[in-house]
Amino acid sequence: MTRLSVNINKIATLRNSRGGKIPSVKEAAIKCQEFGAQGITVHPRPDERHITRHDVYEIKPLIYTEFNIEGYPSEDFLKMVTEVKPHQVTLVPDSHDQLTSDHGWDTWKHMSFLKEVIARLQESGIRTSIFVDPDVAAIEGAAEIKTDRIELYTEPYASLYPIERNKAIEPFIEAAKTAQKLGLGVNAGHDLSLENLNFLYKNIPNLEEVSIGHALIADALYLGLETTIRKYLDCLK
């Protein structure tokens, strides 16, 4: 089964645009799970422009599925996640002011740093995932680092999908096969949508998890959150 983890950052973005507590990040986490999502993802950034550190601590007790926290492994981030102890931490190579994640780790260049971070997280009982491009060398580096999983950065797939879906999926199939051969679990995320999710799912066997936020929350504006989550779950069948 491929798990659907809903990234609720955009709920916090909308709340922060007005101030106050509406819409409620806590209620969103509760409802997403109630409507069938098998996980909740957040990506707290240093400027707290959407999910805040306070949100992370506040929603942890409400999550009975899986909690995935994404972020760059700064000392502040690592302190937070080792206190909160989510089920999974996904490490991304974002700069502090980056609008959204747009590339994976150079796992060989940053190997020493990532090995130290991964060991620290695993010692705290946290499953680890590294955000990577669909690149065999980067995945081989991830295996050397001894992460538990990789998360394939799927924006290139999503961009090419409307034009040539078979070409779009090819590097991701190869990447997933390489990862699984090396004993790594495979997650995927970024720009996945109702349009392109099922094709990815059908072509990547043993996909562990997809993390989806922007498109899912946008769809929910038109369809409602419950209907939208069910439609995304249908894509994983």
Mean pLDDT score of the chain, rounded to an integer? Answer: 95
Taken in order 177, 182, 188, 194, the sign of the CA dihedral is positive
Please tell me which residue in 43, 50, 66, 151 is annotated as part of the active site. Answer: 43
Domain boundaries, the chain: 3-235
Predicted TM-score (pTM) of this structure: 0.94
Q: Residue 104: what pLDDT?
A: 86
Q: Rounded distance, CA 169 to CA 39, Å?
A: 25
Please check whether residue 216 is in contact with residue 230, taking contact to mean a CB–CB distance below 8 angstroms.
no
Q: Residue 101: what pLDDT?
A: 56
Pull the structure tokens for residue 219: 């769809």
Q: What is the mean pLDDT of residues 148-166?
A: 98
Please tell me which residue in 50, 66, 151, 190 is annotated as part of the active site. Answer: 190
Which of 18-22, 23-27, 137-141, 142-146 shows the lowest per-residue confidence on average (mean pLDDT)? 18-22
Q: What is the CATH code of the structural domain delimited by 3-235? A: 3.20.20.70
Q: Residue 8: what pLDDT?
A: 98
Q: Residue 96: what pLDDT?
A: 57
Q: What is the mean pLDDT of residues 199-204?
A: 98
Please check whether residue 44 is in contact with residue 11, taking contact to mean a CB–CB distance below 8 angstroms.
no
87 is a catalytic site residue? no
43 is a catalytic site residue? yes
**% the chain with pLDDT above 70:** 96
Please tell me which residue in 50, 66, 70, 209 is annotated as part of the active site. Answer: 70
Q: Rounded distance, CA 196 to CA 215, Å?
A: 11
pLDDT of 114 over the 80 cut: yes
